[in-house]
Structure 1
Amino acid sequence: MKKLLKGIKSSLLVRGLLFSTFLLFTMCITIVDITQPTSATVGEEIDITVDLKLNPIADDTHYLMFGFLAPKSWDVEGTAVVTYISSVGNGTMSLAPADEKAPLADTNPGPNNWVNEMTEIIGIGENYGEVKWVVYKSDVTLNSINGVEITGQVQLKVKVGPENLVTQLGYVAANTGYGIRDTKHAAKFTDCMEVTGGTNPRKDLCGEIPNPVTYQPESFSFEDIVKINFDAAKGGGALVGTDQVYLCISAKVEGNTVDICDKSDAVKMNSLGGNLWDITIWPRGLFNVPKGSSISEISYSFKNEAGNIVVQDPNTTEDFILEENCN
């Protein structure tokens, strides 16, 4: 069950014993504890600490890697300060180079930098989307000696974003020797926390994926004129900020499939501003259905001008279904 932390700003901190130590061939990394606020206000600077333990069974020298999962609306890259203290030295951390390939990432056919590796392998926890991994790398290497335990703490100071929301933060500790495709890393998601004080309606990233589509009227048949409303900011936001959105629609007419997926005026959507779009269709006229024939089903998606970004139903990852619901 998703745990949603509600209420006003609190100074109480959540400290939880995190999941068990990984048994590794050359390096065991454990996240021992995390301290983070249970809630925050928009624009607030919060402090987070992540306690680590490393148990090397070989002499090694590698950079420490630290991943932080946060909402996309937070400017982590521009506001966060990341440092560490440890039994083998203290130091600072900087954003990992975007073109730095994570170890063992060659097995991934797609982009294989640290951010993409964490997104693919670690995932995004209970968040339905609208979050990102931001990865930091120690500015100097850490030296380990066989059998000598290393204890340390990553300290993160970051400014909370401008939106009212509920989100689950995540953390990864790894090193440049082994990456995260092996078991030589540690990862943890904390309980969902709430941010208040903004002007937007509360957005629950830990809840169900919001449906980006509504209809007017709410009850209709395929014989009626129907307005399809599309909120590009919901359901993943892939078309947020695009200049033009088109409807890509398909119907079954007497068992035959009829597709309209071009850039004609018939499927060009109207911009209402604020990433809101609509289009009014009369299915029978749109698909040129002859008298005496009927439409049995309609499905559709949304695309940008270039056609390389397509938004489908976020709950099914397939086309939206336009269903008759007129009683």
Structure 2
Amino acid sequence: MKSLLQKLIHPLMVVVMLLTLLLVQCGLKSLTVTVPKQAKAGQQVSFTMHSGAEPRIGGDGNNYTTQLLAGIMVPKGWNARKNAVLTFTSPKGNGTLRMIPDAEIEPVSGLNWHQAAKKMFGIGPNLIDDFEWIVYRSTQSYTFVNNEDIDFDVKVSCLVGTENMLVSLGFYVGSSIENLRPEDTDYKKFAFSDAFEVTDGEGDLVDFINPQLGTVQPVKSLDNDIITLTFDGGVTSTVLDGVQQVYLQVKAFDEVGKLIGEVNEKTERTQLKPTGGKKFLVDLWPRGYFNLNKGSYIAYLEYYYTDATGSKIVGYGNTDKPFKYTFRCD
């Protein structure tokens, strides 16, 4: 004879499956965003997230109480933690969202909510990582009953920062009681915007989106920081196609454009290391690289990538113009 436990297993499994199905059917609508194509540096700009709730709780009298979560991914230099304001409008009422404290841990990942969001959603189509995710929660809770479908908008008002850039921004909406479970696709919706450009600002244009022949990490640094220069020959065909030894040719300038140093040798010092896939890189400490005296400072670098003979040269945009990197730091 079957034990009582064996007799109960099958009915319990059916109940669990039904409950799971009901929960899976309850969630958020897809997320779309309204983002302008560009803004001037330092300008206050609004972005809007459009989503909604589709509660399929299963059974009369059941309800679902939660707080709205919303997140944004923006460049660190925008200082959005201090100046961004998030509000929402919905048929169930309007409200404000507050940034979740850094000390509060997202239960599934063991990280704080902002770190957990970045780990889960990444940086989208951006190729350079100088971003932060910031997660907010509504100050009110809202109760839904079965089939109470609604649409809601989350408005983000934010200063865009002072640097020129071309960037894709990130957005997220979710339910506070569901956390950031990796397997869940119903209670968390995220999206990345089309290209958004900041103009009339400081420094060179930083293109986060389009593949670049030459990039520098970090995006912002001082001349006393170690930087990494990368040449990516896989982006497009160049005169360095097939070249196995790639070298850096670089000049340093002060704030008034005076040349203060130049390195144009073809030695181990200037040779980039291959990293696979037609990519090469070199790490350097600018002050030491140019042997600067105390009191001298580098404002920007101009540089090319060359072969061992120096006759094959690649510059910005695959032209004869130099790449440029301006030193700056928040």
Decide which of 211, 218, 225 is 1:236's aligned counterpart: 218
Q: Distance in 2 between matches of 1:34 and 1:246?
A: 35
Bigger mean CA offset, 69-78 vs 23-32: 23-32
Per-residue deviation, 1:34? 2.2
Q: Distance in 1 between matches of 2:113 and 2:137?
A: 10
Letter of the 2:131 counterpart: V
Structure of higher CA gyration radius = 2
| Cα-to-partner distance string for 1:34-84 (whole Å, 9 max, x where unaligned) | 222121111111122212211122322222111111122212111111111
Mapped contact 1:128–1:209 kept (Cα < 8 A): no
Per-residue deviation, 1:147? 2.3
| Cα-to-partner distance string for 1:135-156 (whole Å, 9 max, x where unaligned) | 1111122222222113211111
Q: Distance in 2 between matches of 1:53 and 1:303?
A: 50
Q: Distance in 1 between matches of 2:139 and 2:284?
A: 42
Mapped contact 1:31–1:173 kept (Cα < 8 A): no
Greater helix proportion: 2
- Note the 1:112-191 alignment, pairs <5 A: 112-129=111-128, 130-180=130-180, 181=182, 182-183=184-185, 184-191=187-194
Rate the CA distance shift 1:164–1:105 in 2: closer, same or farther, 3 A: same
Aligned to 1:193: 196
Mapped contact 1:103–1:176 kept (Cα < 8 A): no
Aligned length: 234
Q: Distance in 2 between matches of 1:278 and 1:176?
A: 55
Per-residue deviation, 1:326? 5.5
Q: Distance in 2 between matches of 1:207 and 1:75?
A: 24
Partner secondary structure for residue 116 of structure 1: helix
| Cα-to-partner distance string for 1:259-316 (whole Å, 9 max, x where unaligned) | xxxxxxxxxxxx9889xx9997989899xxxxxxxx9x89986489xxxxxxxxxxxx
Partner secondary structure for residue 93 of structure 1: strand
After superposition, the CA RMSD in angstroms is 3.9
Partner secondary structure for residue 156 of structure 2: strand
Q: Distance in 1 between matches of 2:154 and 2:70?
A: 8
Q: Distance in 2 between matches of 1:104 and 1:171?
A: 20
Q: Distance in 1 between matches of 2:262 and 2:134?
A: 37
Decide which of 62, 73, 86 is 2:66's aligned counterpart: 62
Aligned to 1:204: 207
Partner secondary structure for residue 73 of structure 1: helix
Letter of the 1:122 counterpart: F
- Note the 1:237-276 alignment, pairs <5 A: 237=219, 240-241=221-222, 243=224, 245=226
Decide which of 71, 74, 78 is 2:75's aligned counterpart: 71
Rate the CA distance shift 1:64–1:246 in 2: closer, same or farther, 3 A: closer
Q: Distance in 2 between matches of 1:44 and 1:285?
A: 46
Aligned to 2:248: none
Q: Distance in 2 between matches of 1:246 and 1:150?
A: 49
Scaled by the length of structure 2, the TM-score of the pair is 0.59
Mapped contact 1:31–1:188 kept (Cα < 8 A): no
Mapped contact 1:300–1:322 kept (Cα < 8 A): no
